[in-house]
Amino acid sequence: MTIRVDWRDSLALVGTVVKWLTVPLLAPVAVALYYGDGGLAAFVATIIVAFAAGSALETVGDPTDLGAREGFLMVALTWLAASIVGALPYLFAAHGIPGVVAASAPGSALGNPVNALFETMSGFTTTGATVMGDISFDTHSHAVLLWRQLTQWLGGMGIVVLAVAILPELSVGGTQLMEAEAPGPSIEKLTPRIAETARALWLAYAGITLLEILLLYGLHRTGYAPNMGLYNAVAHGLTTMATGGFSPEARSIEAFSGIVQWVIVPFMFAAGTNFALIWQALTGDTEALFGDSEFRFYLGVVGTVTALLAGLLFTGPVLGIRDAVGPVAGNLEASLRHAAFQAASIVTTTGYASMDFAEWGNASQYVLFIAIFLGGSAGSTGGAVKMVRWLVILKSLKRELFVTIHPEAVKPVRLGGRALDEKAVRGIYAFTAVYFALFVAGTIFVAIDVTRIEQSLTALEVMSSVAATLGNVGPGFGLVGPMGFYEFLPETTKLAMVVLMWIGRLEVLPVLVLLTRAYWKS
């Protein structure tokens, strides 16, 4: 059997990315130095390991002329490698480095390698599902909890997009790599050079992140958000624009005042918007944003889910509300706020919670469960099926109805005035079918696996955990709800979910193609 893929060249490029990962690892080092509450050794050790491993991998092959197949492999492996390297600080912090330094967070759930990998993959893929039941500075250092946030920010716009933006050797094959990482219907080149496009996307991303951090910190300084200090402002800025959902607060955004929750809603919404359109709007072409059919559809979907939830919350019984939240039923502002917050959070696949929606009434929970499958816009940091695909599916179904009555009619599916190629429509159906097949397969696997170790989970818990990891949403319902965690699940289930998050972030097909014989042989 001869392998027709130059996997060595792919590995070499993965090595380069791993080596560069040492740069963002300097941030937690600085935080550790500032707070002095541990974690310094863990990150320094990780930097040494990452640099050594990356440099070693680089020598394996020559990535200057990467083909299409090698590109797929490189992208898939990059995400896996980054997650493995990113998990090292958690392990070092939990176990210490024998003979050198003692553990800074002994007994942490992240001491288990499977848990550490789950947490990092959940970070980079901006899922936001956590295995940590003990999120607090009592157990964890500021550095470790910031690294958790930072993985999401890096993964949000995409590690490979970032690599294309800064690594000159990726200027030629960059388009193809970016398409493998975010294979939405199309990567729009904003500028003639792909590296400049990647830079523009990252610039818009970083700019909006900074704006949010300043706003949140401003609220703190003006007294509207007592516990939103600089650390929290940065931490939440990093995971909002990434549609990540990690929070250094155990109670997520419930821990903050109503005004903070209101401020975060539009940022989650922006994170689910196509960044190419945001870039165009920022450079003066607002018509490109508001005239875009996907954006209008997205606005309509978030609005509809908000209205549905607000109605249910305002009128319906809301179960088991804790005192911290205050009354919601009958309170218009609170109903609207929690509805808008949860709608934006789940539709965009962020995964924040302004209250424990796992304790809502059944109807509201099912609305949210369905929303897990919606996803953000193409070209956004959001995951799941994505708006543009649903829009195309709706339009092509409408076309099917028309063609049933007029069998000879030729009706292209149009998106924003442009007729879509039938191949693109077929691709969208294929994606959605595979997506739901994975959801079904994952659900069956998890249901059997938890029964094996005699855990009893409800159907909603099993299904929502699979949907939330595959869609990079994060929290599900019940035990895996926004205030719960995934740690109790069997190791095998957690590993399966690591794979789901990985496949879900890369939009399924680029990873699945690696599993075909044709990819390696022909």
Partner 1 sequence: MRILVVGAGEVGSSIASSLSDAHEVVVVDVDPERVESLTYSEDVLAVTGDGTDLDVLREAEVEKADVVIASTDDDETNLATCATVDTVSDAFTIARVEHTNYLDTWREHHGAFGVDFMVCTDLLAAEAIVRVVGLPTARDVDPFAGGSIQMAEFEVPEDSPIAGETVAEADRFDELTFVAVIPEGADHASVPRGDTVIEGNSRVVVVGRPASVREFARAIDPASAASEVEDVVIVGGSTTGQLTAESLVERGISVRIIEFDEDRARELAELLPSVTVYSHDATDPEFLSREHIKDADVVIATVGSDERSLLAALLAKREGAERTIAVVEQARYVDLFETVGVDVAVNPRRVTAEEITRFTRERRAENVAIIEPGGAEVVEVEVDEDSVLADRTIEEGMSDLPGGVVLGAITRGGEYVTPRGSTVVKAGDHVVAFVQADALEEVTSKL
Q: What is the nearest approach in angstroms of partner 1 to the Cβ of residue 397?
A: 18
The HSE-up count of residue 170 (CA atoms within 13 Å, CB side) is 32
Q: What is the nearest approach in angstroms of partner 1 to the Cβ of residue 239?
A: 41
Contact 413, 395 (CB under 8 A): yes
Asked if 517 interacts with partner 1 (CB under 8 A), we say no
Q: At residue 476, what is the residue type?
A: G
Write out the binding residues for partner 1, residues 270-299 only, by CB under 8 A.
none
Write out the binding residues for partner 1, residues 357-416 only, by CB under 8 A.
406, 408-412, 414
Q: What is the nearest approach in angstroms of partner 1 to the Cβ of residue 421?
A: 10
Q: What is the nearest approach in angstroms of partner 1 to the Cβ of residue 293?
A: 13
Q: Output 65 or 421, the one with its CB closest to partner 1.
A: 421
Angstrom distance (rounded) from CA 56 to CA 300: 50
Asked if 417 interacts with partner 1 (CB under 8 A), we say yes
Angstrom distance (rounded) from CA 22 to CA 400: 52
Q: Which of 172, 206, 419, 433 binds partner 1 (CB under 8 A)?
A: 419
The footprint of partner 1 on this chain (CB under 8 A) covers a number of residues equal to: 9
Nearest to 276, CA basis, from 210, 213, 184, 345 = 184
Q: 428: buried, middle or exposed (CB in 10 Å: 19+, 13-18, 0-12)?
A: buried
Q: Output 401 or 410, the one with its CB closest to partner 1.
A: 410
Q: What is the nearest approach in angstroms of partner 1 to the Cβ of residue 409?
A: 5
Q: Output 67 or 412, the one with its CB closest to partner 1.
A: 412
Q: Output 113 or 412, the one with its CB closest to partner 1.
A: 412
Contact 128, 474 (CB under 8 A): yes
Q: What is the nearest approach in angstroms of partner 1 to the Cβ of residue 274?
A: 22
Asked if 424 interacts with partner 1 (CB under 8 A), we say no
Q: How far is CA 439 from CA 114, 385, 426, 502, in A?
A: 21, 12, 20, 14
Q: Output 193 or 414, the one with its CB closest to partner 1.
A: 414
The alpha carbon dihedral of 70, 75, 81, 84 has a sign of negative
Q: Output 69 or 411, the one with its CB closest to partner 1.
A: 411
The alpha carbon dihedral of 156, 158, 159, 165 has a sign of negative
Q: What is the nearest approach in angstroms of partner 1 to the Cβ of residue 399?
A: 11
Q: Output 4 or 414, the one with its CB closest to partner 1.
A: 414
Q: Output 168 or 407, the one with its CB closest to partner 1.
A: 407
Task: Look up residue 222 and give its two tokens.
Answer: 């003006």
Q: How far is CA 289 from CA 215, 250, 281, in A?
A: 23, 36, 6
Nearest to 511, CA basis, from 20, 76, 33, 138 = 76
Q: What is the nearest approach in angstroms of partner 1 to the Cβ of residue 402?
A: 9
Binding mask 168-207 for partner 1 (x = CB under 8 A): ----------------------------------------
Contact 164, 170 (CB under 8 A): yes
Write out the binding residues for partner 1, residues 447-476 only, by CB under 8 A.
none
Q: Output 296 or 411, the one with its CB closest to partner 1.
A: 411
Nearest to 204, CA basis, from 143, 283, 112, 262 = 283
Q: What is the nearest approach in angstroms of partner 1 to the Cβ of residue 410?
A: 4
- Interface positions with partner 1 (CB under 8 A): 406, 408-412, 414, 417, 419
